[in-house]
Amino acid sequence: MVDKRVKTCGEALVELLQAYGIEVVFGIPGVHTVELYRGLPNTRLRHITPRHEQGAGFMADGYARVTGKPAACFIISGPGMTNIITAMAQAYSDSVPMLVISSVNNSHELSLGQGRLHELPSQRELVAGVSVFSHTVARPDELDQVLARAFAVFDSARPGPVHIELPLDVITAPATFVGAGAIGKRYRPGPSRAAIADAVALLKAAERPFIVLGGGAQNAANEARRLVERLGVRTALTVNAKGVLARGHPLSLGSRLPQKPVLDAIQAADMVLAIGTELGETDTLLFDDQLRINGQVIRVDIEPEQTTRNVLPSMSICADAALTMQALYDALADFNPFDHRAVVAELRRASDGLAPAAYRAHGRFLDLVAETLPDVIIVGDSTQPVYGGNLFYETAGPRRYFNSSTGYGTLGYGLPAALGAKLALADTPVVSLIGDGGLQFTLAELATAVELELAVPILVWNNKGYGEIKRYMVDRDIPTIGVDIYTPDFIAVARGFGCLATTVSTRAEFIEALQDADSASKPTLIDIPEELALDW
Amino acid sequence: MHTEAHLNVGEATIKLLEQYGVDTVFGIPGVHTLEFCRGLNKSSIHHVQARNEQGAGFMADGYARASGKPGVALVISGPGVTNALTAVGQAYADSIPMLLLSADAASYTLGKGLGCLHEVPSLTDTTAPLTAFSAIAMNAEEVPLLLARAFSVFSSERPRPVHIAIPTDVLEMPVETDWEVPELPMRPAPTAKKIERACELLRNARQPMICVGGGACLAGDAITKVAERLGAAVIGSINGKGIVPDTHPLSLSAGTVRREVQQYLQQADVVLAVGTELSEVDSFEETLEIPGKIIRIDIDTRKMNDIYPSEVAIIGGARASCEAIANRLGEVKARAETVTEVARIRREFRTRLDAGQLRHCKVLDVLREALPDETIIMADVCQLVYTGTFAFDVGKPRLWNYPGGYCTLGSGLPDAIGARLARPETPVVTFAGDGGFMFTVQELVTGAELGLALPIILWNNEGLKQIQDDMILREIELVGVTGINPDFIALAQACGCHALRIDSAEGLVEAINTAFNADRPTVIEVRERDPWLN
């Protein structure tokens, strides 16, 4: 029987989301969003309820980082939106696509300041600062247009979070004039012939070139490998570009960008090709040495302004990384390649020799995780082994190692983001690596993990407090305050949530625990004592 | 001698806060706030370490609600601020004085989008919509000026959060002068002419009534006097509950949500509304029907002609204005029938209750009996609390708290921690539903670390019950509202708290008494489905 009732905007919305390929919605239903749920059971969209909207945002982030696709979040007005802002800001900093759909008070109440439920003076303004755009749907027939705009961003621009808010009266309004389907296929901009010719000329004139690849090159691993090999040039990867050149590639410096020998080499280079990277401080600044570039710089970025930030370019190409690298490769068919393999080996050796022993140990710890669980995706928080891993851990491909220590640098990301990644890739091992301080930020998401029966090993790097901040205080001669905190018994906490939980003290125990956790029917918290793990 | 010369901005800011009477700050230290920490070590200010900056913000909110003094949260730039936003939003909605003091990225990086650590395009733009004002100190000498402005807001305006951000390079700048607390303004006094017009309306009223909100917390005696002289019934908002004691014969408690109160309000020919928004969150009605003439007293000029235009609009502090009315009212005959009518309406509060509300009342009655009169209730949003707003009596303002305006989940526990620290001599208890409790469950660890005696009444109705009910009412298939719960007892114990599940009224009373004398918080789980509530 045909349903003659006119659909509401809320019902039309979920159908449109499905048409655009959205698969998962993260949200905590509330009084203001119940009408977004009316149509949901009639779609194939999977709904996940986290325990806090911050968890919803981080889960959507983890989902997007492994798939390259946005997930949706359904968020209530007011507190729901202020709860998710940190996650949106992390996604904004790291250019992660995310579609945040929220309610807002009735359109005839906006801006009046009448003390309505969940009211904000301007929710849209609040969210605009951490979004590519934030839009209030004033009339039902805007709905398909604004969704098209969101997907234009995700598919053709520098990705990031988009916020669309629907007033309560619009959610329930008849969707008579809302278009039913997705717009046609979207493409990304390529480089012009002139730009490629100029870049090729610069590359051909270079004597000491250097390549830096950033997160914008994540979808271009093949193009990157071919171009780097054709040029034969040493290449550094930012943390968000890990795996764009596979572990062991003889021209890859891995992510040793912040280390002095590598920074010195960039400074001495006469030509730097920087693709899809901010060259931002969280990519380059870990120790006291700053990024300085004296040579010519070619910057390639999907966002025009980004080609001018931090380092001014000699020439810039505003285009997709994959298309640009492919075009350069094609135009360099007759290039007489460098052979930087020995240079790379020497730079690696020099850097590794200088690195603090703990960071090397962190790298070895992560290598052990990867040896134990082949193809593993490691989702990290801002925690010490992640800082070491940022430098020394290398992956076989992109989208297998990411964390919140880059960009926004938030705490509490590592658990929910790992859950989002595991939801996307159920058959791939996904590990969460988080410190004891960070885990407490989003602790309640252990309940979500149990509910979803996700076999995620949660590695808690336990240094009983905020180790990184403590180190800074000691360095600055500040008596330590608020960093040696009371730490709960994480094993008992995890069991209280219904997780499996275990403490390990030897390498062999750790390996066994990790394997068990990966094949368990629920999440397992593995408490890792820092002082022992450094020797594994 | 230049004793100040060696202080930097971070240290001098803390020292100045101390002079403003700040004794506690809530936060989580980070790389960007180290120079504040340097100052904290030299000060008498107690630094309380939350487990998420959201908790720190709520603790500051609870501290302010319990003490009447501004609560201070000290957080890192970026995620520290955005984590605290929901607490700031709650303080904004409920007019709570709160200072959010944060670091910001180095001043020479601001606005450039360089991708610095903790960067947002504009930190202060992010907080501006939620604050009385939000400002960055771009050099050392701006800091005392901004703090003076913040504390002037707290002392004289409608209190609302203020955000002051200090870039990391400014935090390290040397301070060459002595920073001092200036003379702070007071709330404005009403004009005699307006008071006279209000008195005239009230004198000639056939059936006057009084609505009181959170802005009238200090005006309880004056309002009670005016009410008694007029024979006017008094209706509290959520934040106005107890300003005239709930047990007073003229009090309709915070009963606006009850149909019988709304109908009674329609009979009033003059309504004196003091420090209240007459908000929908008190009545669950988009607009209340108020045919009577309204006298509004508020310090926020924008409240005068919002949904309910005023016949007489008085800008002034609530206490000064109500005292002036009491003094100028002159000869007036108290309306005699009101006491009888109020008693009848109060009896009706316990009729037409649904099955859930009947269970709430059973628990609330036991709690009222068990808790000392002066107990501060810092509740989370849950169905038990909705019912308690009209079915649980308190005798003073600010004893009954939940964030009805912003309607946040998860504020109850951290707010209670803040209140407990603000008023160590006063019993504090929190009521929280299981769904809301999960939002900030990690703050149990903070409560345990601080060794606070704090009973936490965990009302377990298995999920987001209010939303389940809403979905059922609207014939929407249940989605995402019946999530499984942890073993709350094991979880609370693992977080360092005491915990027990009770299954009788006697058990509840005993658990509360024990919890008030314990060396740490106690989670007392009460299950809605338990037979003793049948």
With 70 as the cut, is the pLDDT of residue A166 above it? yes
| 3 state SS for A409-464 | CCCCCHHHHHHHHHHHCCCCCEEEEEEHHHHHHHCCHHHHHHHHCCCCEEEEEECC
Residues A344 and A361 in one domain: no
Q: In the prediction, which pLDDT does B423 show?
A: 97
Chain B: closest CA distance from residue A377 (Å) = 24
Q: Does A181 touch chain B (CB under 8 A)?
A: no
What mean pLDDT is predicted for residues A470-478?
A: 82
For residue B466, the chain A residues in CB contact (below 8 A) are: 31
Establish if A338 belongs to a structural domain: yes
Q: Which of B11, B20, B9, B166 is nearest to B81 (CA)?
A: B166
What mean pLDDT is predicted for residues A425-454?
A: 96
Q: Is the Cβ pair B439, A40 closer than 8 Å?
A: no
Domain that residue A43 falls in: 9-171
For residue B54, the chain A residues in CB contact (below 8 A) are: 54, 83
Report the range of poorest mean pLDDT among A48-62, B372-386, B472-486.
B472-486
Q: Is the Cβ pair A92, B120 closer than 8 Å?
A: yes
Q: In the prediction, which pLDDT does B179 show?
A: 96
Q: Are strands B162-167 and B98-104 parallel, antiparallel or unpaired?
A: parallel
B306 pLDDT band, cuts 50/70/90, is: confident
Residues A339 and A219 in one domain: yes
Nearest-by-CA chain A residue for B36: A478
A289 pLDDT band, cuts 50/70/90, is: confident
Chain B: closest CA distance from residue A208 (Å) = 27
Residues A437 and A364 in one domain: yes
Which segments of B448-531 are extended strands (E)? 454-460, 498-501, 521-527
Nearest-by-CA chain B residue for A118: B406
What mean pLDDT is predicted for residues B340-354?
A: 97
With 60 as the cut, is the pLDDT of residue B1 above it? no
Domains identified in chain A, total number: 3
Q: How many helices (H) and strands (E) does chain B have?
A: 21, 17
Q: In the prediction, which pLDDT does A284 show?
A: 82
Q: Does A92 touch chain B (CB under 8 A)?
A: yes
Q: Does A129 touch chain B (CB under 8 A)?
A: yes
Q: In the prediction, which pLDDT does A463 show?
A: 81
Of A141, A171, A201, at which residue does a domain stop? A171
Residues A323 and A395 in one domain: no
Q: Does A119 touch chain B (CB under 8 A)?
A: yes
Establish if A420 belongs to a structural domain: yes
Q: In the prediction, which pLDDT does A328 show?
A: 98
Q: Is the Cβ pair B41, A483 closer than 8 Å?
A: no
Task: For tokens 């990644």, name the residue.
Answer: A421
Interface test with B, best of A410, A440, A445 (most B CBs within 10 A): A440
With 70 as the cut, is the pLDDT of residue A152 above it? yes
Which CATH number is correct for B192-344, 3.40.50.1220, 3.60.21.10, 3.30.450.20, 3.40.1110.10? Answer: 3.40.50.1220
Residues A200 and A346 in one domain: yes
Q: What is the CATH number of the domain that holds A72?
A: 3.40.50.970
- Of residues A113, A129, A490, nearest to B126 (C-beta): A129
What mean pLDDT is predicted for residues B170-176?
A: 96
Establish if A186 belongs to a structural domain: no
DSSP-derived 3-state class of residue B244: coil
Chain A: closest CA distance from residue B94 (Å) = 9
Nearest-by-CA chain B residue for A405: B117
Contacts of A399 (CB under 8 A, 6+ apart): A65, A66, A68, A218, A243, A377
Q: Which of B461, B63, B278, B430 is nearest to A115 (CA)?
A: B278
- Tell me the pLDDT of chain A averaged across its residues: 94
Q: Is the Cβ pair A116, B122 closer than 8 Å?
A: no
Q: Which of A72, A134, A129, A125 is nearest to A97 (CA)?
A: A72
A3 pLDDT band, cuts 50/70/90, is: low
| 3 state SS for A44-65 | CCEEECCCCHHHHHHHHHHHHH
- Of residues B37, B129, B280, nearest to A125 (C-beta): B129
Q: Which residue has the higher pLDDT, A281 or A191?
A: A191
pLDDT one-digit tens code per residue, A93-129:
999 999 999 999 999 988 888 889 999 999 999 999 9
Chain A: closest CA distance from residue B271 (Å) = 18
Report the range of poorest mean pLDDT among B167-171, B313-317, B428-432, B460-464.
B460-464
Q: In the prediction, which pLDDT does A281 show?
A: 87
Q: Angle CA(B458)–CA(B461)–CA(B464) in degrees, nearest 5?
A: 100
Q: In the prediction, which pLDDT does B2 show?
A: 41
What mean pLDDT is predicted for residues B81-110?
A: 97
Nearest-by-CA chain B residue for A35: B476
Chain A: closest CA distance from residue B520 (Å) = 13
Establish if A434 belongs to a structural domain: yes
Establish if A185 belongs to a structural domain: no
Q: Is the Cβ pair A496, B491 closer than 8 Å?
A: yes
Establish if A176 belongs to a structural domain: no
pLDDT one-digit tens code per residue, B226-258:
999 999 999 999 999 999 999 999 999 999 999
Q: Residue A331: exposed, middle, or buried by beta-carbon count in 10 A (0-12, 13-18, 19+)? A: middle
Q: In the prediction, which pLDDT does A282 show?
A: 83
Residues A346 and A371 in one domain: no
DSSP assignment string, A245-309: S-TT-TTB-TT-TTSHHHHHHHHH-SEEEEES----HHHH-SSSPPP---SEEEEEESSGGGGGS
Q: In the prediction, which pLDDT does A113 show?
A: 86
- Of residues B49, B86, B439, nearest to A444 (C-beta): B439
Q: In the prediction, which pLDDT does A483 show?
A: 74
Q: Is the Cβ pair A92, B280 closer than 8 Å?
A: no
What mean pLDDT is predicted for residues B424-438?
A: 96
What mean pLDDT is predicted for residues A122-138?
A: 95
How many contacts, defined by CB atoms under 8 Å, are there between A and B? Answer: 271
With 50 as the cut, is the pLDDT of residue A1 above it? no
Q: Side-chain half-sphere of A323: how many Cα atoms within 13 Å?
A: 15
- Angle of helix B412-422 relative to helix B443-450, nearest 10 degrees, comes to 20
- Of residues A120, A408, A448, nearest to B129 (C-beta): A120
For residue A48, the chain B residues in CB contact (below 8 A) are: 480
Give the ranges where A23-111 is alpha helix by DSSP (H): 53-67, 79-93
Q: What percent of chain B has pLDDT over 70?
A: 99
Of A292, A323, A350, at which residue does a domain stop? A350
Establish if A2 belongs to a structural domain: no
pLDDT one-digit tens code per residue, A232-271:
999 999 999 999 999 999 999 999 999 999 999 999 999 9
Q: In the prediction, which pLDDT does A250 show?
A: 98
Where does B353-533 sit in CATH, by number?
3.40.50.970
SS3 content of chain A, % helix, strand, coil (to 5): 45, 15, 40
Q: Does A304 touch chain B (CB under 8 A)?
A: no
Arch. (CATH architecture) of B9-171: 3-Layer(aba) Sandwich (3.40)
Residues A342 and A362 in one domain: no
Task: For tokens 């359904």, name the residue.
Answer: A74
Interface of A with B in 388-407 (CB under 8 A): 407
Nearest-by-CA chain B residue for A112: B306
Strand order in the sheet with B293-298: B233-236, B208-212, B270-274, B293-298, B312-315
Residues A141 and A206 in one domain: no
With 50 as the cut, is the pLDDT of residue A454 above it? yes
Q: Chain centroid to CA B19: how far? A: 25
Domain ranges of chain B: 9-171, 192-344, 353-533
With 70 as the cut, is the pLDDT of residue B298 above it? yes
What mean pLDDT is predicted for residues A341-360?
A: 93
B333 pLDDT band, cuts 50/70/90, is: very high
Establish if A184 belongs to a structural domain: no
Q: Does A177 touch chain B (CB under 8 A)?
A: no
**Phi–psi pair at B401, nearest 5 degrees:** -130, 125
Q: Is the Cβ pair B439, A482 closer than 8 Å?
A: no
Interface test with A, best of B491, B498, B525 (most A CBs within 10 A): B491
Measured from the Cβ of residue A290, the count of other Cβ atoms closer than 10 Å reads 11
Chain A: closest CA distance from residue B411 (Å) = 11
Interface test with A, best of B26, B37, B458 (most A CBs within 10 A): B37
Residues A312 and A410 in one domain: no
Residues A379 and A520 in one domain: yes
Residues A304 and A328 in one domain: yes
Q: Is the Cβ pair B30, A130 closer than 8 Å?
A: no
Residues A256 and A216 in one domain: yes
pLDDT one-digit tens code per residue, A355-399:
888 899 999 999 999 999 999 999 999 999 999 999 999 999 999
- Rounded to whole angstroms, the Cα distance separating B470 from B479 reads 12
Q: What is the CATH number of the domain that holds A337?
A: 3.40.50.1220
Contacts of B107 (CB under 8 A, 6+ apart): B136, B138, B167, B169, B170
ipTM of predicted assembly, 2 dp: 0.93
Q: Is the Cβ pair B37, A478 closer than 8 Å?
A: yes
Q: Does A419 touch chain B (CB under 8 A)?
A: no
DSSP at B301? G
Q: Angle CA(B311)–CA(B312)–CA(B314) in degrees, nearest 5?
A: 150
Interface of A with B in 234-293 (CB under 8 A): 278-283
